[in-house]
Amino acid sequence: MATTKDRAPKRRVDARSSVERITAAGRIVLGTGEASLEQIAAEAGVGIATLYRHFPNREAIVRAVLDDILETDLFPLIDDAAEAPHPRQALQSIATHLLDLVVQEQGLVTFASNFADVAVNALQRLSDSLHPVLLRAQQQGEIRPDLTAEDIPRFLVMAVVGLGLPGTAPSLRARFIALLFDSLNPANATPLPPLLPEEGDLHIAVGNVAAHT
């Protein structure tokens, strides 16, 4: 007879499998636009009770999908950028890919009632991982030295607001991302004025993106 100790690992494996299936299903269903928890459960091949056991609300699913996007689509690019001979070009490619993902995963923005809180956490993780690449670009004279790590998420949000809207052609996004990154060039750059803490709330910025989607 199997003991409790014998059964525990299998329960953990089954739980992990359910979480992975629901996360993958969430990304598929949310990528189509409007979605429901019932649609995600059906796509994952689990009951709605199983979904709620692992993901008690919509925000939990969005958080899992965002983490999956970071791990599978963006962090590998950042790992490659760490060794790239031209880090600014690598950062530009990552930003372009990020905007493509924003358009593809548009349903994420409208699915969670407090998308800003969830997105800011993911955006901060992304920015933290980009910081070493930014430092390399500054050391090589490819990016202005007064740009800080705190500027990265706001710069990305600005790009998303302007270029991540549905219907924006990939060629147009690439064109204006190139223009945005030219503003980071240290040659003839005007020194950046200080950012006042009360004027730099990232939650408000991301919330405005969700409100206008």
Topology (CATH level 3) of domain 1-56 = Arc Repressor Mutant, subunit A (1.10.10)
What are the tens digits of pLDDT across the range 134-162? 999 999 999 999 998 888 888 888 887 77
The pLDDT of residue 157 is 81
Domain ranges for the chain, please list them: 1-56, 58-211
Task: DSSP for 62-131, please give it.
Answer: HHHHHHHHIIIIIHHHHHHHTT-S-HHHHHHHHHHHHHHHHHHTTHHHHH-TTHHHHHHHHHHHHHHHHH
Pick out the chain residues at pLDDT < 50: 1-11, 13
Class of the CATH domain delimited by 58-211: mainly alpha
183 alpha carbon, distance to own chain's centre: 23
Residue with tokens 């809180």: 117
DSSP 28: H
The pLDDT of residue 204 is 58
Look over the chain and give the mean of its residue pLDDT values, rounded to a whole number.
82
